[in-house]
Structure 1
């Protein structure tokens, strides 16, 4: 089964008032994908990653984090360890006790915490566009939380501007046609948030993690599984220099800087370089008892 043939998600009861929507496709060793802030599971197929991993003989688990439809949005604030516990509940729901764990953007924070908190066996860790945040990332989070606290919500124009400025490449940002097209795309469709606490909750989780100077060298040193770190040349949220330095604290890591793309490279790179690198990595760290 490919990601284009996915059946309805399953609902995982994590706690009273908290249900996480999750899906598993394919057969073989499990790969868990944790998305970024405001990224529901339905976005993953657009990256090409689920289909590539299923074709390579893996099963792929995706889920929508607390705060995102069709999961529930408990009262804010949230924390990264709480969100990692949600992911652990998803793994338990599918009977998974060993896996490769993958994160994109804020999903890398969840992946770092998951590697510390999960009692199962982690065969590999992959972090894409999200290992260590920048001062710009802290500033944007602080600004958005402040606006929500003052206005009760984040104005659509602010959200769209932030997404455009960080997701698109420098060449796209000076192309008026591209900017207008992306603005139209970003303002069409329904909000991904499951309730008013969703955005505030995820922003607070991200902010608290960054203000704690996570990931600390000690946390990174504790991730002993083989680790793949992918960074994009023009990513202002997670610049390559910071992620390269952070990767130096990982005991068994390979680092790749992918040229020409910004924070949205995992979805927008026409060469799909992240797909190939991640798939090859998963093949290398596949449990030894698994074929292919």
Structure 2
């Protein structure tokens, strides 16, 4: 494992766990993880590769995940805007005025929001496995789960295999640690897709470590609730983004078909789209973290 400097920062209440790697004098890269996933979801291999490329790297636990504070969502519901504020607090806590922002899945939406509303803080933007932040996937998901055809004016819903897994997963028992581990392994396997190899030992270590360091593993589900809320700020056109933007996507993503990445790249002026053959919706395939790191290193060098 790579060794980093742990630090807690505060964002309008929640205390956030962060970890910094590399030389403080190097350009900063902020890694923003996706829904319900801890900062350690950014593989050590990816972090180490970026540090060797001369980047200062920061990863962090979102509110309601890992070692960051739990929020009473029923009493104090939050939105994507609050999670964006958390990301800014992480930058402030590490004294970074402008960063290369790299966001995965929901983290990609957070990255887009930062680039739109806080452009002065974003040197470059890299999105991975995500969709335009203004796209509301709810109606397409509902039609797909009801067996109805997709609407021609919407971005595609998840694959039938993934939707079938969701239905099965909702019925799976989770009363013992072994059952919870097994259920999460099945989810990560489906997210990986069926083309690139799936590193089950790495996923097992990640899931076990995530449960060990979480204050309340169930609280992470609040991210899904926050992500469903579409405020006016989320609907601002992506054409206002001025940061050099790289959109990375996989052909086997079971949640966001490649059309989501194509739509995102088309909306951001000058954005480059890099499609990885066989990649699904996670980084748990041997060699994939290093491959992503090299793309980010090249993009941030150019930016």
Determine the structure 2 residue equivalent to 1:240. 258
User: Counterparts of 1:92 and 1:275 in 2: how far apart (Å)?
Assistant: 24
Distance 1:190 1:254, change over 3 A: closer
> 1:42 maps to which residue?
40
**Cα shift readout 1:164-202 (whole Å, capped 9, x = no counterpart):** 2112434758xxxx87x6886676455264326622311
Distance (whole Å) between structure 2 residues aligned to residue 183 and residue 40 of structure 1? 13
Using the TM superposition, give the Cα deviation of residue 279 of structure 1 relative to its aligned residue in structure 2, in angstroms.
0.9
Partner of 1:71: 68
Output the aligned Cα RMSD.
Answer: 3.3
Please show how residues 186-265 of structure 1 align to structure 2 within 5 Å: 188-189=208-209, 191=211, 193-195=214-216, 198-209=219-230, 216=235, 218-264=236-282
How far has the Cα of 1:255 moved from its partner? 0.1
TM-score in terms of structure 2 length: 0.74
Mapped contact 1:230–1:257 kept (Cα < 8 A): yes
Decide whether aligned partners of structure 1 residues 248 and 183 sit closer, same or farther in structure 2, where only a CA change above 3 A counts. Answer: closer
Corresponding position of 1:135: 157
Cα displacement (A) at 1:162: 2.9
Tell me: CA distance 1:24–1:183, structure 2 relative to 1, closer, same or farther (3 Å).
closer
Gaps of 5+ in 2: 138-155
Equivalent residue for 2:29?
31
Match of 2:143 in 1: none
> 1:280-291 maps to which residues of 2 (within 5 A)?
280-285=298-303
The separation in 1 between residues aligned to 2:28 and 2:205, in whole angstroms, is 33
Alignment of 1:117-156 (within 5 A): 117-118=117-118, 120-132=120-132, 134-136=156-158, 156=180
Determine helix, strand or coil for the equivalent of 1:230: strand
Equivalent residue, structure 1, for 2:116: 116
Structure 2 counterpart SS, 1:81 = helix
Q: Is the 8 A contact 1:24 1:59 kept in 2?
A: yes
Q: Match of 2:43, SS?
A: helix
Partner of residue 58, structure 1:
55
- Once the two structures are superposed, residues 46-81 of structure 1 have per-residue CA deviations (whole angstroms, 9 ceiling, x without a partner) of 3x3222222222211111111111111111243111
TM-score (norm 1): 0.77
1:135 deviates by 2.4
Q: Given the superposition, is the C-alpha separation of residues 30 and 183 from structure 1 closer, same or farther in structure 2, using an over 3 Å criterion?
A: closer
Equivalent runs, 1:156-167 vs 2, <5 Å: 156=180, 159-167=184-192
Matched residue, 2:97? 97
Maintained 8 Å contact 2:158/2:257: no
Evaluate the alpha carbon distance shift between residue 275 and residue 249 of structure 1 in structure 2; reply closer, same or farther with a 3 A threshold.
same
Select between 248-257 and 114-123 the one with higher mean Cα deviation: 114-123
Deviation at 1:13, TM superposition (A): 1.8
Where 2:89 maps in the other structure, the secondary structure is helix
Distance between the aligned counterparts of 2:122 and 2:204, measured in 1?
40
Hey, what's the Cα distance between the residues in 2 that align with 1:229 and 1:269? 21
Q: How many residues align?
A: 263
